Amino acid sequence: MLAEDPHSPVGERRAEELPLNIREWNCPECGSHHDRDINASINILAAGGAVSVWVAIF
């Protein structure tokens, strides 16, 4: 799941087309700054929270 620019489908496609060595960029549509490493850490924290909730239920 790539959540780099959820408000701009154009931005999402652009992120998917960028090589992985490009770690950050500005959205050409809205000008917002995106950082792949920060986004990855947010996604990892969210996934960890989902797992801990699932474990707590069972």
Domain spans of the chain?
9-57
The pLDDT of residue 54 is 59
pLDDT of residue 48: 83
Per-residue confidence band for 15, with pLDDT thresholds at 50, 70 and 90: low
**pLDDT for residue 2 is more than 50:** no
Q: How many CB atoms lie within 10 A of CB 52?
A: 10
At residue 18 the predicted structure's pLDDT band, cuts being 50, 70 and 90, is confident
Amino acid 53: pLDDT:
60
Give the helix/strand (H/E) hosting 29.
none
Q: Are strands 33-35 and 24-26 parallel, antiparallel or unpaired?
A: antiparallel
pTM above threshold 0.75: no
